[in-house]
Amino acid sequence: MPLNPGRRSHEGAPYSLLTPLEDYGTILRWYRDTRRRFPAPHPNLTRSEGTLYRQIQTDSVLTPVLGRHIAPAIYETSKCTVCRATRGTLAHILQCAPQDPAPSSIRELPVTVRRAITSSDYNTQKLVVQCVREALERQRVGGASPLGRSAGRPT
């Protein structure tokens, strides 16, 4: 039976070193917890905020670069819609402002965002989600609904 010396169970209580994991559900949770790289979204985040938080963690946010492949009718180019000079990756759009376009050499997320995606704190997670939402709003193509949602679907 696997024993987990330093991890916590899904309830947050530490697994005991002396008690073996006996039932299937506990063993399955143990394996899932040991594979987890990032913390789960905080339970107080709304469903859409939690989804966006997971997308930030996995670098799968609908930016112009990804949108070009998913919705080519809306995202005709992978260029940033603010500066129109370089590819609109998540790292780029987070650092690109209309008055001060970001350089094209940006490849990594800002340090504050990289720290926030590994945080379990509600306020930190909420702040990074709001920051990314604002950046995505700046990237909206005329006529596109926010965050790539279809017009007929409730938010």
Would you state the structure tokens that stand for residue 67, as one six-digit string? 């949108």
Backbone angles phi, psi at 120, to 5 degrees: -100, -5
Instruction: Please name the residues in contact with 68: beta carbons below 8 A apart, sequence gap of 6 or more.
Output: 75, 76, 77, 78
48-100 residue pLDDT tens: 999 999 999 998 999 999 999 998 988 888 898 888 888 888 988 888 766 66
25-60 residue pLDDT tens: 888 888 888 888 899 999 999 999 999 999 999 989
Measuring CA to CA, which residue among 58, 60, 135, 65 is closest to residue 93?
Answer: 135
- Show me where the domains of the chain are located: 1-36, 47-144
Distance CA 95, CA 126 (A): 18
Whole-prediction pTM: 0.70
Find the DSSP H helices in 11-100: 24-35, 47-57, 64-70, 90-95
